Amino acid sequence: MTPLDKVGEFGLIGRIQQTVELKQPSTILGIGDDAAILAPAAGQELVISTDLLTEGVHFDLTFCPLKHLGYKAVAVNVSDIAAMNALPTQIVVAVSIPPRFTVEAVEELFEGVKLACEAYNVDLVGGDTTGSRAGLTISVTALGQVAAGQAVRRSGAGPNDLLCVTGDLGGAYLGLQVLEREKQVWQADPESQPELGNYPYVLQRQLRPEARMDVIHELRELGVVPTSMIDVSDGLASEVLHLCQASGTGARIFTENLPIANPTLEVANEFNLDPIMCMLNGGEDYELLFTVPLADHAKLKNHPDITIIGHMVDKSEGANLITKSGQPVPLKAQGFSHFDHG
Ligand code: ADP
Ligand code: MG
C-alpha cells in the first residue's frame, strides 16, 4: 500500500490519466492542460449536470466498495443526462481525499469511474484533486448532447398523457436496509461475518445502479418522444409530483401497476415494510419516469422494460394514487404509510 504523500497530487493525476481512453469525436483535448477542449457537433445542444456525493451523507464506506462508488457517481450523472433525452459525452471528476486513503484506494475509486465511462461511452476529460480534512467527496459533472430542440424537460406533460416508468422500483431502498442491518450486527460484534449473499438483486440496485441509456436508445428506435421526463432519484411519488408541478397537471397512478421485482418484494416482506411504500418513497432506483401521448400506447404497452403506471389529468384533480379498491389517496413526497390496500 502506497501512502498518498509518496506520489503527491501530480503523481496521482498522472496515474489516473495513464489509462484514460478518449473515444468521443467531440473531445479535442482531455486531461493535462488547464482545461479540456470540446467541439460539439453542428446542430446539437449541450446539456450539463453535476452531482456531489459526500461521505457520511450519500455513502458509507463501511459497506460501499470504492469501485462501486466511482461507478455510481458517474451513473447517477449519466442518469440526469438521459432524463433530458440527451446522450452523455464527457465527464469531469473532482475528488477531495482524506489522508487515510492510499494511492491504491484512489485507483480503485477511479477504476469504477473508468468502468462507467466504458459502459456509457463517455470520456473522462478532467477534474480536480485535493486533500480533505473530513470525509471523501466525489463530484461528477457530466456533459451530453441532444439535437437542438429535442431535449425533454419536466414541463411538457399534458392531461391524458400516459405516465411510464422503466425497470422496477424499491430495490435500492431495500438494499440499503440490508446493508444497514448488517452494519449494526457487525458493529455489535466485529467478529461476525456479514450475511449479504442472499440479497444480490437489492444490493446491486443500491450499490451499482445503472443509468437507463438503453431505454433512451429504444425510445428513439420506436419513434417515441416523451413529452416530459425525470429520473427517479428521490422516490416515485416525489418525481411524479415534480412532473405535475412543472407541467401544470395532476396525475393518477395505480397501485396495481407499480413494478416491483420478486427479490425486492421478498426483502420488503422480510423487513416488514410495505412494498408500495418502498416503491413510492424509496429512492435511488435511477429509473426513468416519463410521459408520452396517449397515441403511443400500442408502441409501449408490451415493452418488457417499460410499465405504464397511470396517466396525467387536469391540475384541478391533483396527484393521486388509486388503490386496488379504487380509492384515491393524495400523493405525498414522502412519509405516508397508512392507506387502504383494498
Ligand atoms: P489546475 O492547477 O489548473 O487546477 P490540476 O493540476 O488540478 O490543474 O490538473 C491538471 C490536469 O489534470 C487538468 O487537466 C485536470 O482537469 C486534470 N485532473 C485533475 N484532477 C483530476 C481528476 N481527479 N480526474 C481527472 N482529471 C483530473
Ligand atoms: Mg486543479
Same-domain status, 12 and 111:
yes
At residue 155's C-alpha, the angle toward residues 153 and 158, to 5°, is 125
Q: Which domain holds residue 110?
A: 8-147
Q: How far apart are CA 148 and CA 42, in angstroms?
A: 9
Q: Is residue 226 left, alpha or beta, with left meaning phi > 0 and alpha meaning psi from -120 to 50?
A: beta
Q: Are residues 112 and 247 both part of a single domain?
A: no
Single out the residue in 120, 147, 174 at which a domain terminates.
147
Does 113 sit in the ligand 1 pocket, CB within 6 Å? Answer: no
Cα–ligand 1 centroid distance for 82 (angstroms): 26
Examine the domain organization and report whether 170 and 138 are in the same domain.
no
The CA 75 to ligand 1 mean position distance, Å, reads 21
CATH of the domain at 205: 3.90.650.10
**What is the CA angle 119-125-130, rounded to 5?**
110
Residues 126 and 242 placed together within one structural domain of the fold? no
* Residue identifier of the C-alpha nearest atom 8 of ligand 1: 34
Do 76 and 134 fall within a single domain? yes
Question: What pLDDT is recorded for position 119?
Answer: 98
- How far apart (Å, rounded) are the C-alpha atoms in residues 47 and 110? 24
> The domain that contains 12 carries what CATH number?
3.30.1330.10
Burial of 175 from C-beta contacts in 10 A (0-12 / 13-18 / 19+): buried
Point out the domain boundary residue: 98, 120, 147: 147
**Do 281 and 195 sit in the same domain of this protein?**
yes
| CA 272 to chain centroid | 26
Answer yes or no: is 167 within a domain: yes
Residue bearing the CA closest to ligand 1, atom 11: 32
Give the residue from 165, 166, 155, 160 showing the smallest Cα distance to 311.
Answer: 160
169 in helix, strand or coil? Answer: coil
Q: Which of 147, 176, 210 is the last residue of a domain?
A: 147
Closest protein CA for atom 5 of ligand 1:
128
Is the domain of 92 the same as that of 167? no
Cα distances from 121 to residues 10, 117, 273, in angstroms, run: 26, 5, 38
Same domain, 140 and 102: yes
For atom 9 of ligand 1, which residue has the closest CA? 128
Q: Which amino acid is at 87?
A: L
Does residue 152 fall inside a structural domain?
Answer: no
pLDDT value at position 1? 86
Same domain, 85 and 221: no
Q: 263 and 305, same structural domain?
A: yes
CA 123 / ligand 1 centre spacing (Å): 14
Verify whether ligand 1 is closer than 6 Å to residue 31 (CB atom).
yes
pLDDT by residue for the chain (342 residues), tens only, comes to 899 888 988 899 999 999 899 999 999 999 999 999 999 999 999 999 999 999 999 999 988 999 999 999 999 999 999 999 999 999 999 999 999 999 999 999 999 999 999 999 999 999 999 999 999 999 999 999 999 999 999 999 999 999 999 999 999 999 999 999 999 888 888 888 777 888 999 999 999 999 999 999 999 999 999 999 999 999 999 999 999 999 999 999 999 999 999 999 999 999 999 999 999 999 999 999 999 999 999 999 999 999 999 999 999 999 999 999 999 999 998 743 334 333
pTM of the model: 0.94
